[in-house]
Amino acid sequence: MGRDIYALYAYGSFTTFLISIPARILTLLFSVFVSFLSYASSKSLNFLIDSFAAVFLSIPSFLVALIVLYSLGSELFVFYLAIVVADWAFVYESIQGKQREVSESGFVIAAKSMGANSYYLFKMHIFPEIISILFILFITGIPGVIMTVAIFSYMGIDFGTESLGPGLGEQIAFSKDYFLVSPFSLFTPILGILFLVLSLGKKS
C-alpha cells in the first residue's frame, strides 16, 4: 500500500510515549495525593473520599473519560484530565489496601505514640511501602491508556498530535481493515505495545 511500516512504528512509539506515559503518571500522582488526604483527614472526610471512589468504581472508566472529553473538548490536556478522572479510583483503592496494612503495623503505632504527625508517617512509613504497588499499576495501566486513545480515534477525537503520526493504538485501529493485504501492519503495533510494556517492566 506504499506505507513504510517501520516509519509508522517509530512515529507511533514516540506518540504513544508522549500521550500514555504522562497520563498514567498524573493518575498515580493524583491518587497518591488523595490517599494522603484520606489518611491525614478526619473520619468524615475519609468517608466522603471513600464514597466518591466507590461511585467512580461503579461507572465504566471509558464512559467517565468520554463524558469529560465531550464536556471540555478534545485537547491533549483534557485527555490527561479525562484519564485521571476515569482511573484514579481504581489506583486509590489499590493503594488503600496497603495503606491500611501499614497503618496497623507496630512501627507506625509506635511512631504515632511518640508524637509523629500524619505527614511524617505517610512520608516515612506508608509511601515507601506503596512504591512497588505504584510501579505495577504504572506498568499494567499503560496498555489501557493506549487502547483508550485508539478507541477515541475511532470516534474522530483528535488530541492535536496529528503532526507526530498515529500512535500504536491508532495503528491497530486502522490496520485491521488491511489485515488480508498486509498482516504485518497489524502485528507490528501489537508487538510494539507488548515490547513497550516489557521494557518498562524490565527492572521489576
CATH at 144: 1.10.3720.10
CB burial of residue 161 (10 Å; 0-12, 13-18, 19+):
middle
The verdict on residue 119 lying in a domain is yes
The verdict on residue 12 lying in a domain is no
pLDDT attached to residue 26: 93
pLDDT attached to residue 29: 93
The verdict on residue 186 lying in a domain is no
Running DSSP on this structure, what letter comes out for residue 180?
T
Largest CA distance in the chain: 71
Domain count, the chain: 1
Please list the pLDDT of the chain residue by residue as tens digits (204 residues).
566 667 777 777 777 777 788 888 999 999 999 988 888 877 788 888 888 888 888 888 888 888 888 888 777 788 888 888 888 889 998 888 888 888 777 777 787 778 778 777 788 878 888 888 888 888 888 877 877 776 776 666 666 555 666 777 777 777 777 777 777 777 777 777 777 767 765 544
pLDDT attached to residue 18: 78
- pTM for the model: 0.77
CA distance 131 to 135: 6
The verdict on residue 123 lying in a domain is yes
Look up the domain containing 110 and give its range: 24-164
The verdict on residue 198 lying in a domain is no
CA distance 89 to 7: 37
